[in-house]
Structure 1
């Protein structure tokens, strides 16, 4: 009991520090995740003759380019597509938008829907009047959100800068950081820490590989499918689908909405074909590719990967995509090894090796 205050003091200090850095924890977390994912590349560059600083600078610049270049392409594509949408809007506003054929086949409300369409959208200037009435009701909300957009954008830029700066320092001071983390882990959980230390980088790298590769694949494949099906702005929709595919359930939502858009335009065959192809492609990706890329490194079953991703992103946001599979990997390691993991009979060789950290300090 006399040692209780001394043991609680580090925990109280850590809690106070977390509270102090609450707004910057996402930047620190992203820096740690990116460092874990790219660490093999950093070591490879150093072994090929690049200095530590040069390797760190190359990787940080490459990561910034990976964020900036797709964003610039997306904004450029969006600008082009907006011009096209505006031109189409002006054309239909001048001539009136004729009702689609499927409107007459709606059950129960077909007559009312056709009457509303002819009075509102089929007349010249109808689109403009509808837009004004709708935007007029939403104008206060749009104005308030637009006013907050600038500060939010600047805050995100600051968080990105801090994440990249922290990542650069982690590359330079990796040995010191690892020594401190190993020392703290051995003090808190001397028998379980080696398992956690092995599982964490494997699960993080597997998750990053699975999410990014699947997102790129689905963005490209479904973007081509959008083009074949005749969807408007297929490149833009493909990029949006790729970003949405990072989140479980995002890709099916994307191609379902595009299928409904094609159905609304009267292209029922293209809509059915796109939805069928998207469902087939999604089955292959979610059943075979994604679990294999994420779960194979830490030997996780499909449902564990799926619920780890869903639970993580619903609770912690994007960072939860990495935390969820890691916690699942720890859980299944404990379930497989049982008491051998929780209470090993004798210190393992890895524990003895890591214990050298405490003697060095």
Structure 2
């Protein structure tokens, strides 16, 4: 009897069981994919609204600066619960603070336009006479007098400078200035709308930001957000206080030197002084006007006095005011203001100290 060896069935290929939808590996992949998707959508949204990021940033800076006032008004009995009315009043106040000085300046310029037109016609026919102060200069009298006689003392109707006023370059510059002015008006209008929405949201927006920071970055992240807001608020306060102080001091100097329209010049100087190192433009032009009128001593005195005021205010008073509110060292405040302005422009004046606050917090956490 023949015995046959047992036949073994062929081995079937091993099949990996499907991954469970609730397995840790599957959940990890889903979280990674969701994070990539969210980041991509956020970047896409930022790219879509890229032209309005600066508008939202300006509105946020003003809202942070006025937030204590907003909360105080909300606590008043008559305004309690009337968020729309509060937002409207604060937004209109900001609009008036900007529009009113500009309107006063335009009205004053229109009143002076007739005199300027007559002066322009006169210099076209007769030229510009040599000012008396040139003869009292300590050096260069002959050179300045010769240049003035050759270029400005003669009738300017046929001069190259007058012909250039009608060139296509000047017209192009005029159109460019008009377009920039229209763009600035639109940006300001959108900023006011954004500011109104932020004010109207009120405490709900503040609570949402704090909750989001705590969930995403813990209690340390929420405290960092509050310190950055304090830095922005302190920067705005320092700019306004120092600007008003410079405007008041230089207004007294304008009155002493006999300049016309002292109140308007002081207001323009105060607004310009709220921006770092912009006050010299105003008192410098005023000193040049005095110089053209022959008041050499008054022009030199105004220039020297204004330079001292601006130097002390920009290098000592303003950094100290901002540093006390943010508890930042003097040097970090100065670097934040100047570096922020150089990197981000006018908006960087407020962003710089806030970033220096982050740097200081990180350094403190590192050394402790």
How many equivalent residue pairs?
337
Q: CA deviation at 1:325?
A: 0.9
SS at match of 1:126: coil
Q: Is the 8 Å Cα contact of residues 63 and 198 (structure 2) preserved in structure 1?
A: yes
Residue 296 of structure 1 aligns with which residue?
324
Give a deviation string over 1:254-311, Cα, whole Å, max 9, x none: 4345435544554331122112211332244234431232221111232222221111
TM-score normalised by L of structure 1: 0.81
Q: CA deviation at 1:23?
A: 0.6
Q: CA deviation at 1:191?
A: 4.8
Gaps (5+ residues) in structure 1? Answer: 341-361
Find the aligned partners of 1:250 and 1:284 in 2 and give their Cα distance. 14
Q: RMSD value over aligned CA atoms? A: 2.9
Q: CA deviation at 1:72?
A: 0.6
- Residues 265-274 or 203-212, more deviating: 265-274
Please state if 1:186 is matched with 2:217. no
Find the aligned partners of 2:156 and 2:260 in 1 and give their Cα distance. 22
User: Which protein is bigger by CA-based radius of gyration?
Assistant: 2
SS at match of 1:97: coil
Give a deviation string over 1:217-245, Cα, whole Å, max 9, x none: 22232233234224566555444433332
Matches within 5 A, 1:217-256: 217-231=245-259, 234=262, 237-256=265-284
SS at match of 2:274: coil
- Residues 320-329 or 192-201, more deviating: 192-201
Gaps (5+ residues) in structure 2? Answer: 1-27
- Residues 167-176 or 25-34, more deviating: 167-176
TM-score normalised by L of structure 2: 0.80
Find the aligned partners of 1:89 and 1:128 in 2 and give their Cα distance. 14
Residue 121 of structure 1 aligns with which residue?
152
Q: CA deviation at 1:324?
A: 0.5
Residue 320 of structure 1 aligns with which residue?
348
Q: CA deviation at 1:212?
A: 1.6
Residue 44 of structure 1 aligns with which residue?
72
Find the aligned partners of 2:277 and 2:228 in 1 and give their Cα distance. 25
Q: Is the 8 Å Cα contact of residues 247 and 313 (structure 1) preserved in structure 2?
A: no
Find the aligned partners of 2:314 and 2:67 in 1 and give their Cα distance. 27
Find the aligned partners of 1:284 and 1:106 in 2 and give their Cα distance. 29
Q: Is the 8 Å Cα contact of residues 37 and 204 (structure 1) preserved in structure 2?
A: yes
Residue 350 of structure 1 aligns with which residue?
none
